[in-house]
Amino acid sequence: MPSSLIEQLPALFTASGAGRMALQDLDFQPLVTDGRVGAEIHRLYGTQETGADGPAAAIVRYLPGAEAQAHVHPGYELIFVLDGELETEDGTYGRNSLLVMEPGSVHAPRSPRGFTALVIWERPVLPA
């Protein structure tokens, strides 16, 4: 694992209205939904752009010791671990792991060591 969380961050490029790609800063905010503690999020797009039941995507960062309460995925969720280790009830997933959570799946992610991931939600999650 890199020596600092900053080293875990991907370079983010977004297209402007003219279609030109530009490097963007990652602006992380606290992520407290689903009872999360010690998690941060940089939203790429969300339900504000896609509708109340629409998809969303973000770079999510769990600091060492972070955790979330169990929650249900009414749609698919993809989690690509960029760095660190994500733990669920089913195991531990390190760098370059891709988790595909099927609709109806339930999990309570946590990370004793911390991790950074690209997360794509097909639909907003629900409490378990």
The answer to whether residues 59 and 52 touch, using CB atoms and an 8 Å cutoff, is: no
User: pLDDT band at residue 7, thresholds of 50, 70 and 90?
Assistant: low
The rounded radius of gyration (Å) of the Cα atoms in the chain is 14
Q: What is the pLDDT of residues 102-124, one digit of tens each?
A: 999 999 999 999 999 999 999 99
Instruction: Let me know if 72 is exposed, middle or buried by CB neighbors in 10 A (0-12, 13-18, 19+).
Output: middle
User: pLDDT band at residue 13, thresholds of 50, 70 and 90?
Assistant: confident
Instruction: Name the residue with tokens 């991790």.
Output: 115
Instruction: Let me know if 31 is exposed, middle or buried by CB neighbors in 10 A (0-12, 13-18, 19+).
Output: buried
Give 44 or 13, the one with higher predicted confidence: 44
Q: What is the pLDDT of residues 30-74, one digit of tens each?
A: 999 888 999 999 999 999 999 999 999 999 999 999 999 999 999
